[in-house]
Amino acid sequence: MGKLIAILGALGMGVLAFPLIALLAAAGTMGSALACIETSAGGPLSASAPVPVQARGWVAAAKTACPDLPEAWIAAVMMQESAFNPEAYADDSNGGTWGLFQMNNSIWTNAYGHPWSADLNDNGTWDVKEGDIAAATGGKYLCSRLEGVRKIRVAHPDWASSAIPVLDALIIAHNAGESRLETYPAIPDVTKKFITTVNFRVTQWSDDAEPGAQPEVTTDPDQGSTPSPTATQEAYSLADDVGWTTPGTEPTAPTDPASSSPATGAPVYGLGCMPTLGTTGQVAVPPGTPNDVEQAVRTAMSYVGVTSGWHQLCARLACRAYGYESAGYVSAKAEWDAMVAVGNARQGDVCPPLGSFVYWNTGRPYGHVSMVVQADPGCDPAKIMVTANGIFDSATGNHGGVYLVSFAQINAGYLHGAGYLGWSDPLCKGAVLAAGTVHPAPSGM
């Protein structure tokens, strides 16, 4: 018989014996889990994102009202609608729209319970124009709209819109109306642009948009240079209008991280819509597995459930399983390029063996790499399991957490399933950890 390796080291969780999706279904949480996963694209809002400090509070208020929505997505929609101006107004044939999320009077009244002109705190300002109130009300509205979109997708799985990311469908419903979900891909050009711009900003503004984005070493001569703009970046910079205009440039980024305890300033983890997502499970090691690979799987599994410390350190995490302090490459992309150069890359092969490294183009400069901790003879991507950093941070509320995830799940998250590059044997060139190192060890060792 083969061996079963359970997640015990990081969190002391109980043993579970099926792949993650099967576990969720067996636990009766399939619907809520998938709903949480599908809205968890991107991670927490990056400290470097050009979102003003005050607006970050509004993003947090909307997130509190609708935990299913990722912070970066909320910020991107808020920027697109109002450029973070709570008094933004746009005139239209339906009587105009107000506030951070540009809600018309009927939508606002339905969500808030009072019309635009309400001033419940008697401070002389319409509540729709007060950031804190508008953000919380907007979050409530978007959650209700999201629930409606999910019901439509269940009722009409044959519609083309039911196959696109649910947050894209939410934008269609918000910007053009739910009826446009039936006509998709025939939607207004302004809605298409809305989706493209929001998705670009989510990628740029997510703290964990790229789990391998922190350089592993600092001697790269190109480090610090600015990559040439992609066509998407050019489109974003050249055609970035909203329904109204405000003088000045885009807001500058704040210097303080957004996610911290108000009392202590310390990071707060595990506050997402599914705090334990991807942190429990068990993988199978078949008989005859080489000792070094079996030990690497055990080591990799010991990191699953760690809630912080591995932000943008995917290459280091993968090589840590084999006893290395770091990967020794600038990034996952650099590591993949090196594997291709020496003939160690199996490009496009979707049946990676146990203990191998799997690589993705994430649409950003550094790429991503994970280690395979469960292979499948039938090459079923739902049964192939990998460890990954940051992948569920938005859903769990962690920052640089480590998770057990299927190949199918992680593959769907990069370039809509088109980002997979291939796999390689594990060839790390970083410093070797000291003998007797106890795992999980801090990422900075």
pLDDT band at 413 (very low <50, low <70, confident <90, very high): confident
DSSP structural state of residue 15: P
Please state which of the ranges 44-53, 169-178, 331-340 shows the lowest mean pLDDT. Answer: 44-53
Amino acid at 7: I
Q: Residue 346 forms beta bridges with which residues?
A: 423
Cβ atoms 167, 41 nearer than 8 A? yes
The backbone region for 410, taken as left when phi is positive above 0, alpha when psi lies in -120 to 50, beta otherwise, is: alpha
DSSP-assigned letter for residue 44: S
Q: Which range has highest mean pLDDT (274-283, 332-341, 436-445)? A: 332-341
Nearest Cα neighbor of 410 from 373, 440, 442, 365 is 373
Q: What residue ranges define each of the domains in the chain, with the CATH number in brackets?
A: 3-30+270-424 (no CATH), 53-206 (1.10.530.10)
pLDDT in tens, 220-279: 222 233 333 332 222 222 222 222 222 232 333 333 333 344 344 444 555 566 777 787
Residue 400 contacts residue 309 (beta carbons within 8 Å): yes
Q: φ, ψ for residue 100 (rounded to 5)?
A: -60, -35
**SS3 of residue 313 by DSSP:** coil
Q: Is the pLDDT of residue 6 over 70?
A: no
Ranges of beta strands (E only) in 20-102 are: 89-90, 97-98
Predicted local distance difference test score (pLDDT) of residue 247: 27
Q: Is the pLDDT of residue 4 over 90?
A: no
DSSP-based three-state secondary structure for 422: strand
Q: Give the per-residue pLDDT at 381.
A: 95
As given in the structure block, the two tokens for residue 3 are 């061996």
Interval 139-157 mean pLDDT: 94
What totals of helices (H) and strands (E) does the chain contain, helices first? 15, 10
**8 pLDDT band (50/70/90 cuts)?**
very low
pLDDT more than 90, % of the chain: 59
Q: Which residue has the tokens 């997505």?
A: 73
pLDDT-based confidence at residue 203 (cuts at 50, 70, 90): confident
Query: Is the CB of residue 383 less than 8 Å from the CB of residue 374?
Result: yes
What local confidence, expressed as pLDDT, does residue 221 receive?
Answer: 25
Report the predicted TM-score, pTM, of the whole model to 2 decimal places. Answer: 0.59
Of the candidate ranges 96-105, 121-130, 236-245, the one whose mean pLDDT is the lowest: 236-245
* pLDDT at 332 exceeding the cut of 90: yes
Quick one: pLDDT band at residue 43, thresholds 50, 70, 90? low
Q: Is 364's pLDDT higher than 90?
A: no
**What's the N-to-C CA distance of the chain in angstroms?**
36
Query: What are 244's two structure tokens?
Result: 């109204």
Residue-level pLDDT at 211 = 53
CA distance 163 to 153: 8
- How is residue 355 written in tokens? 């203990």
Of the pLDDT bands very low, low, confident and very high (cuts 50, 70, 90), residue 354 is very high
Predicted local distance difference test score (pLDDT) of residue 127? 95
pLDDT reported for residue 392: 82
33 near 3, Cβ under 8 Å? no
Phi, psi of 4 (to 5 degrees): -110, 130
Query: Of 30, 13, 37, 56, which is closest to residue 394 (Cα–Cα)?
Result: 37
Distance CA 167, CA 124 (A): 36
- Is the model's pLDDT at 321 over the cut of 60? yes
Torsion of CA 384, 389, 395, 399, to 10 degrees: 170
State the pLDDT confidence band at 408, using cuts at 50, 70 and 90. very high
Comparing CA positions, the residue from 263, 211, 186 lying closest to residue 443 is 211
Mean pLDDT of 115-135: 95
Cα 412 to chain centroid, rounded = 12
Q: Which two tokens stand for residue 428?
A: 């790390």
Amino acid (one-letter) located at 336: W
Q: Vertex 44, ends 174 and 220: CA angle to 5°?
A: 125
